[in-house]
């Protein structure tokens, strides 16, 4: 059984026990989170739309962190114009506890 959930404008395919990285959520480690379910697949088939209105995906916050640094380097040739910038995207790591619906 798997489900498609959404968080932070992105969609993730999850099963019970999976660990996923989502956009940063304002939660502490150990907090429970409910994710919006878009689709559920089980042995009876697929359920979407109004059939999954009451579906719930429970997850637990495992870690708050930052991704690896991405270096952004821009330059204009022959003009001696260079800029170097770094970015580390924050994330929240979730463990899927249950998918019901």
Res 78: pLDDT:
96
Res 13: pLDDT:
96
Phi, psi of 55 (to 5 degrees): -70, 145
Burial 28-66 (b: 16+ CB within 10 A, else e): eeeeebebebbbbbeeeeebeeeebeebebbbbbeeeee
Res 57: pLDDT:
94
pTM reported for the whole predicted model: 0.84
Res 44: pLDDT:
87
Instruction: Tell me the pLDDT band of 51, cut-offs 50, 70 and 90.
Output: confident
Residue 79: count of CB within 10 angstroms of its CB = 7
Q: What is the mean pLDDT of the chain?
A: 95
């Amino acid at each position: 059984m798997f489900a498609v959930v959404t968080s932070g404008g992105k969609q993730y395919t999850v099963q019970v026990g999976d660990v996923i990285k989502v956009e940063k959520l304002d939660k502490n480690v150990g907090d429970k989170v409910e994710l919006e379910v878009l689709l559920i697949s089980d042995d009876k088939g697929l359920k979407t739309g109004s059939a999954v209105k009451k579906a719930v995906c429970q997850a637990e916050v495992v870690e708050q962190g930052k991704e690896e640094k991405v270096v952004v380097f821009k330059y204009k040739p022959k003009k001696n114009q260079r800029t170097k910038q770094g970015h580390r995207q924050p994330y929240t790591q979730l463990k899927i506890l249950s998918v019901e619906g």
